[in-house]
A and B are shown apart, each in its own frame.
Chain A
Amino acid sequence: MSFAREPLPKATTIKLFKSLFLARRSEEYIVKHYAENLMRTPMHMSMGQEFVCVGVCSALEGKADVFASYRSHAAFLAQTHDTDRFFSELYGRTSGTGEGKGGSMHLAAPDQGHILSSGVVATQIPVAVGAAFANRQLKTGRTSVVFFGDGAADAGVFWESINAAALFKLPVIFVCEDNGYAVDTPREARQVSKSLSDAVKPFGADTYEDDSGDVESVYSLAKEAVAKAHRDRRPAFLNVKCCRYLEHVGIGTDWNWGYRDQATVEREWIDRDALKVQRARLAKHQVTESAIAAMEDEIDKAIQASVKRASQAPIPTPDRLHAGVFYEKA
């Protein structure tokens, strides 16, 4: 279903558009330049799915502790908008999120609420539960949010984590980016339950199904789910249907793999692309075409500037290899 509560205030519509555009254009830059072989890290692209992370992170207005999978780009940019550290890490520079030691699968900016990203399926999920516990004990007022794929719900630790969050009465926001596939294996070949939400509900979480493909729906849903989770002291499970436009890992398309049909995907998803829909909404709010173009231009320039700074930043010296295995006090 859709949770869109139109019309959202104009400022919110603009904010969501900009955040979507930032994630999309950053990845389009990667697609264009990957072949230069200077960003030497496996990329699991968010393209097509950005609206999920953008909707949720925007709803939390900086008060989220975000935990992401290896498909981390949209989550990272939606939460931090920090293209400097993003591109620096992809280029393997000391100015990156992990001074080049993390790469695309380990983007992290804890000071900006993107706590970590993880490359082993489902491993980030229980970490979000512990973070929610810390947030409660320390009364930080922050909300623990974890993004993961439908494949992660195959894993035992997902169920352990839902159970623990409900048992400990922790308002963890579990967000399943349900793109229907784990690599090229469809959900039906991996899971018996017809609906993940139905399976999760008896564990004591509030569950929500969103198949709108719309950032404003996800935004409104997240607002509602977060408020309820805190009020009722229980976790929320948001299953958001989405579509990965590119191949599982890498910058190409995968129409030739034969597991999904290009025409169907275009008709069902790409034709109602969330960014396109959001751009059209701006017009409804009387934002002129030239004003939209100016916003887009500003974001493009910011990306270019970040890329430039990244490519001029130092590459770690060999002695950094052994540094930082253990925590060093600043």
Chain B
Amino acid sequence: MRKLDYAGAIREATTQEMERDSRVFVYGIGVPTWSSIFGTTKGIPEKFGKERCFDTPISEDAMTGFGLGAAIRGLRPIHVHIRVDFMILATNQLINMVSNYTYSTGGKLKVPLVVRAVIGRGWGQGAQHSKALFSNFTHIPGLKVIAPTTPSDMKGMMIAAIRDDNPVICFEHRWLYWAEEDVPEEPYEIPLGVGRILRPGKDVTVVGLSWMNVEARLAADILAKRGVSVEIVDPRTLAPLDENLIVESVKRTGRCIIADCDWVDSGFSAELSARINEKCFGKLKAPVKRIGFAQTPAPTVRELENEFYPNAKTIVHAVEDMLGLEAANLDGEDFFSHERRFRGPF
């Protein structure tokens, strides 16, 4: 096997599916341009031509309806948004149209549409280029929602999403694009709706969403040095949710921290917490704890950004709190800095 990064996993999944199935095409603002959505569509226009990889007007609403129309008439579109914040303009189509036509036609229409959205903290992105908004979409029946964390999960889940006959929204945290690991070269599917235990443990379950799994791994390493064993569960698919995997983990550990890269109020963490409380009542040794954005718009200045976004430290302290441990001095620890790779501008 060879190493591949997360952006490469998306590119490879897309390319292999476009080779296999001539109905697959990819489009969106900036998709065929030089910057190619963090490299995820690099080489695709040259290989497949303008009819199967193309740019669009800045008309998110119409271009989402366009994807729906293409999907119900026999193609398999992939629509890309370089920020979820811009996909808000597509929500009329996603929520009023895309999600409900299979149902309201008694199954006569199928909607094999993939919508990719980049999320997350960048580099001083402020309030309009940094959201996640998972629960805005998991709230809606008829939409599948995925947020893979690892490159190998991304490749298999992207292929599964493209082959799915239902609309799938794929959230991609921009800090994950450079994550690398061994990824099989041949095409493979990881079924949607199946979660994954990223790290087994016995004292506390951390349910991580997207990037927060990276932070959770670091937190788990730090805590392991103090004899605390953390289990990390990555749901991977948010809707439909692999509830059982999470519930069984929490029943084993008796403790649960949900680490989200989104707002906490009415966020996806609220849904997870509710389900864990419903299904694990009596087995919980402590109340479920949620970690996420501060309930403010995202600020720009670094010092406030650091307060706004949770990270491994937040998780370490939450675990300590839950287990009644003294707060450790984390001064010697090496935390992730996006700036090692990136110094702007976008």
Contact = CB atoms under 8 A, between A and B. Distances in A.
A134 B57 contact: no
Contact of A125 (B64, B65, B109, B165): B65
Interface residues of A, number: 48
Nearest to B111: A327
Contacts of B64: 126
B104 A106 contact: yes
A325 B103 contact: yes
Given A128-B69, A133-B69, A163-B57, A123 B62 contact: no
Nearest to B59: A160
A7 to B, nearest CB: 36
A98 interface: yes
A303 B90 CA distance: 40
A129 to B, nearest CB: 5
A133 B103 contact: no
Contact of B72 (A110, A164, A167): A110
Contacts, number: 153
Interface in A91-135: 96-102, 106, 108-111, 115-116, 118, 120, 123-135
A96 B107 CA distance: 12
A144 B165 CA distance: 22
A327 B166 contact: yes
Interface string A215-233: 0000000000000000000
Q: How large is the interface on B (under 10, 10 to 19, 20 to 34, 35 or more residues)?
A: 35 or more
B110 interface: yes
Contact of A327 (B67, B69, B93, B107): B107
A123 B96 contact: yes
B66 A123 contact: no
A202 interface: no
A315 interface: no
Contacts of A132: 69
B96 A115 contact: no
A124 to B, nearest CB: 8
Contacts of B66: 126-127, 129-130, 133, 164
Given A131-B73, A133-B75, A324 B106 contact: yes
B57 A131 contact: no
A216 B73 CA distance: 30
A101 B65 contact: no
B65 A129 contact: yes
B108 A101 contact: no
A116 B61 contact: no
3 shortest A-B CB distances, which residue pairs? A130-B69, A126-B65, A160-B62
Given A129-B69, A164-B59, 16 more contacts: A67-B69, A98-B104, A98-B108, A109-B108, A115-B72, A126-B61, A126-B69, A127-B97, A129-B62, A130-B65, A134-B75, A137-B75, A144-B69, A157-B59, A157-B61, A327-B111
Interface of B: 23, 25, 51, 56-57, 59, 61-75, 77, 92-93, 96-97, 101-111, 141-142, 144, 165-166
